[in-house]
Amino acid sequence: MNFERDFPLKYYLNLGRREDRRTEIEWMFDEVGITVERFPAVDARFVRNLRGYEEKGRYALALTIRLAIRRAKQKGAKSVLLFEDDAVLHPNFVELVNQIELPEDWGIFYFGCQHCERPEPFSPGLVRVTRALDAHAWAIHESAYDEVMRAIDAIRHPSPDHPLASDQFVVPLQERIPTYACFPNLAWQSHDPSDLTGTEYSFYDKGGTQIISPHVLEGMMTECNAPEVMQQPPKLGLLFLTRGDVNHPEIWREWIAQAPDQVRMFTHAKRLEDLQGGLLEGTQIEAQIDTAWGEVSLVRASLALLRAALEDETITHFALVSESCVPVQPLTRILKNLTHDPRCQFGFRDVEKASAKSKHRFRKTANIPEGCWRFHQQWWLLNRVAARLATRIDKTGGFEEVFASDEGYFGTVLVMAGYPVDDLVYNKDVTWTHWPEKGAGSPAAHETLAGEQLVSILRSGAIFARKFPGGADVGRYRLHLE
């Protein structure tokens, strides 16, 4: 769809006395690059007749929505898009909305909502709603104007079955009016104090994932984006980005032997001749990229590994490792954990928590919304959904002049693709690394693993650890075995 063409009439509902909300949401609209007209909201202090609503604030909101839809009808608008002034929009909102193909029969469209019953996957980024609440960002087609206005104007009597809020009255319409929603949410409610309740609350996490009834959406990301692995046991694709063969082949052999059918290796080596007779012989991918330390070529090589591994539809998770890495948890334990918690894993920070060095580094990259930046180590564990999204669009051209772009590319691109990184990624480093001092150019190499470093590895929760040159004594601790 084309956001501006398909939704030319856009209102945000705002009380005259909430100038703070007006300033914040207009700043946000400017950040995402859209223009929205203010629609003055009815002030609950002047409401006399509740018309069956449980409180003045809820009826005032319903009345405001009716007036906005009525104005759209008077203007002859084909649709109207309504924002509440405490809405939060995804930082890459317009680009993601433009990627969605909204069917011609739509009557109600939520840019974000709270699903009370499991929706039906429809197309990339879109689900068919069965029962959903909230109206922080929604559009009404002209064919549904009258029905929506009648529904929220209904005079009802309070009962346990009717909480008496406008979004509740719209729910029955979803059975007969074709209703769709963005998935994952591209709009949600902020955590600011509510005008309705006077308390600070939100039904959504930081990245827009609903908090109430999360079981309704369990596995929904996979069902929508990678249905072929829905009922499969975890299988790990090891993506070796190396100079040559691994430094500790025996550790890797013993580790893989615990569940050989649940692991497959893929290699991008700088020196192909070094693979002969080694663990990685025969695992080299077809793509060969001339890599250099600190350059975007490392990202391109990682993407090539991911694309090659994605061709195997039985692989559910993908881990990027180097020749100096070793596993520090038994494979059986890792697979068991992924069965119960299939999330991606990598430690990350957003712009607010990023170091000055990271901010300066990535400032050279154009066309990346600031709210999309996520900074992390080079090494990560991605599930199949995230891997597909990370490889769907190649953004490496914009990172050409960024030093160590691999320390921000994947997390940032996932956010840009709409993946709720803040909610669905286990924010912990997947690979233990020891930096001898702050700002050091390279991590420490460990010929001998000291006691405090061993304790640090055990406490880290990491799956892998580095850097261990050939001959290092890490194998004697048998961390990779049960």
Copy the structure tokens of residue 22: 């007006």
Euclidean distance between CA atoms 342 and 357, whole angstroms: 32
Q: Terminal CA-to-CA distance of the chain, rounded, Å?
A: 52
Dihedral, 387, 391, 393, 395 alpha carbons, nearest 10: 100
47-98 residue pLDDT tens: 777 666 767 888 889 999 999 999 999 999 999 999 999 999 999 999 999 9
11-39 residue pLDDT tens: 999 999 999 999 999 999 999 999 999 99
Is residue 160 very low, low, confident or very high in pLDDT (cuts 50, 70, 90)?
A: very low
Per-residue pLDDT for 118 more than 60? yes
Report the range of poorest mean pLDDT among 141-145, 158-162, 316-320, 415-419: 158-162
Euclidean distance between CA atoms 276 and 271, whole angstroms: 10
Higher pLDDT: 54 or 176? It is: 176
284-311 residue pLDDT tens: 999 999 999 999 999 999 999 999 999 9
Per-residue pLDDT for 174 more than 70? yes
- CB neighbour burial string for 286-307, b if at least 16 within 10 angstroms, e if fewer: eeebebeeebbbbbbbbbbbbb
pLDDT of residue 8: 95
Per-residue pLDDT for 387 more than 50? yes
Euclidean distance between CA atoms 36 and 408, whole angstroms: 32
Report the range of poorest mean pLDDT among 127-131, 178-182, 349-353: 349-353
User: Do 268 and 257 form a contact (C-beta atoms < 8 A)?
Assistant: no
Segment of 43-52, 163-172, 174-183, 434-443 carrying the highest mean pLDDT: 174-183
Output the pTM of the full model.
0.92
Higher pLDDT: 248 or 363? It is: 248
User: Do 131 and 171 form a contact (C-beta atoms < 8 A)?
Assistant: yes
Report the range of poorest mean pLDDT among 46-50, 130-134, 157-161: 157-161
Tell me if the bond preceding 184 is cis, omega within 30° of 0.
Answer: yes
- Please name each of the domains of the chain with its CATH number: 3-218 (3.90.550), 228-477 (3.90.550)
Copy the structure tokens of residue 8: 């030319």
Euclidean distance between CA atoms 137 and 123, whole angstroms: 20
Q: Dump strand ranges (E) for 86-136.
A: 87-89, 108-110, 114-115, 120-123, 126-128, 132-133
Residue with tokens 């090494």: 379
Euclidean distance between CA atoms 144 and 472, whole angstroms: 69
Three-state DSSP state, 333: helix
Euclidean distance between CA atoms 7 and 25, whole angstroms: 18
Query: CA distances (Å), 463 to each of 262, 457, 480, 481, in order?
Result: 16, 9, 9, 12
Is residue 122 very low, low, confident or very high in pLDDT (cuts 50, 70, 90)?
A: very high
Per-residue pLDDT for 193 more than 70? no
